[in-house]
């Protein structure tokens, strides 16, 4: 079954007499039991924090998306990464973190985990099988992100996962860029796939949500216990909205993906641009790995401008009319950010000019191109 069909039908109530097409929302904190002896049963939900039917249906959709065996739902994309990590480590352990990781995840590892007695080593995202030299006896997790959050390096997932499996190390990937649509990391050997469902699955920039899909139920149960111990819960209204996002994600994703590729291809020809960072372009240094492991692109990419002042970069971004200025992506609106103030890299490429990231929404690609073209005049 194609994903367009699967996502239209999965996680819906079984048709009966006048059955609603979508799962109903149940809002509850207290759940009542007819008999006192049922209160402590392990096979039923005992409290509203443990979810509802709409949560169950959403988990079913994410499991189908990634081909996993278990899904945990959390309140944000950052929580999908941090809870997955915490479920796999304890004091005295060591983790490996790609240098291209999402900034807040990087900060979590360098601050919170450090305070908890977990050591982090930052590695080159293009390290491939050479990551074996960095694995210590107490290494428990390798955190992956492909492409990189701002710099778009593609990691050799099969090579890294093969080493990790042989050494008994759990692999976790932030798979938000592809939405699980153009990359299937669990099929490539990754153990846990984390998503900021806030983005493509929310689709309208008005909800925060995260999902953690595990290759097996043993890992999934550990993640559930961690989230439960910390006291995390997700609203049934939010879960309903994310499940609704599944119904239209394929056409929305396809349009924004096509717009990003059109703009990236066009920007390669602009005199103001030194480099375009989009793995679907043949000019990208990791294009061969992308072509092997991915089935398509996504809505975001970045450009390196030829050397200009910081004030010129800001003038360019401020001159955009259709692109909004803000974080995130995957919504209906296009966005642009200046990356340099948050860019920190110990490994990988060093850029000679300012880094700017574009996220394409659902506007017409020609209008987005015209908007960038008129804004580029601000660089002069």
Active site positions, annotated: 49, 102, 174, 199
Q: Which residue has the tokens 């959403």?
A: 58
Relative to beta strand 210-214, strand 273-277 is unpaired
Contact 242, 234 (CB under 8 A): no
- Give the Cα separation of 319 and 283 in Å (integer): 28
How far apart CA 132 and CA 157 sit, in angstroms, is 13
**Farthest-apart Cα atoms in the chain, separation:** 76
Classify 351 as helix, strand or coil. Answer: coil
- Give CA–CA dist 45/50, Å, rounded: 6
Quote the CA–CA distance of 174 and 190 in Å, as a whole number.
Answer: 11
- Please name the helix (run of DSSP H) or strand (run of DSSP E) that holds residue 241, with its range, or none: helix 236-267
What is the DSSP secondary-structure string of 188-205? Answer: GT-SEEEE-TTTTTT-SS
CA quadruple 101, 104, 108, 110: dihedral sign: positive
């Amino acid at each position: 079954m194609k994903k367009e069909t699967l996502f239209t039908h999965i996680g819906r109530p079984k048709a009966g007499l006048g059955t609603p097409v979508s799962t109903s929302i149940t809002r509850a904190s207290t759940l009542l039991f007819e008999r006192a002896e049922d209160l402590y049963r392990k096979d039923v939900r005992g409290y509203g924090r443990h979810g509802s039917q709409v949560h169950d249906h959403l988990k079913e959709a994410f499991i189908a998306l990634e081909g996993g065996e278990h899904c945990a739902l959390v309140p944000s994309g950052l929580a999908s990464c941090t809870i997955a990590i915490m479920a796999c480590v304890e004091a005295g352990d060591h983790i490996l973190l790609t240098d291209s990781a999402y900034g807040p995840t990087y900060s979590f590892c360098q601050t919170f985990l450090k305070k908890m007695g977990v050591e982090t080593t930052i590695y080159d995202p293009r390290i491939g099988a050479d990551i074996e030299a960095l694995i210590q006896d107490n290494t428990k997790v390798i955190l992956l992100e492909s492409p990189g959050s701002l710099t778009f390096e593609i990691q050799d997932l099969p090579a890294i996962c093969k080493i990790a499996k042989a050494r008994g190390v759990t692999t976790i990937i932030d798979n938000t860029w592809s939405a699980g649509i153009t990359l299937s990391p669990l099929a490539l050997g990754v153990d846990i796939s984390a998503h900021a469902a806030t983005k493509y699955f929310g689709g309208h920039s008005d909800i925060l949500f995260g999902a953690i899909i595990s290759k097996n139920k043993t890992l999934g149960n550990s993640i559930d216990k961690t989230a439960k111990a910390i006291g995390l819960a997700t609203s049934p209204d939010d879960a309903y909205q994310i499940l609704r996002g599944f119904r239209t994600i394929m056409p929305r994703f396809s349009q924004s993906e096509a717009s990003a590729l059109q703009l990236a291809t066009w920007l390669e020809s602009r005199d103001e641009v030194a480099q375009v960072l989009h793995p679907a372009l043949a000019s990208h240094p990791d294009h061969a790995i992308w072509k092997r492991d991915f089935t398509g692109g996504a809505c975001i990419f970045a450009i390196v401008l030829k050397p200009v002042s910081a004030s010129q970069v800001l003038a360019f971004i401020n001159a955009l009319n259709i692109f909004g200025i803000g974080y995130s992506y995957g919504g209906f609106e296009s966005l642009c950010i200046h990356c340099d103030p948050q860019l920190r890299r110990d490994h990988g490429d060093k850029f000679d000019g300012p880094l700017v990231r574009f996220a394409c929404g659902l506007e017409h690609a020609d209008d987005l191109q015209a908007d960038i073209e008129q804004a580029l005049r601000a660089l002069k």
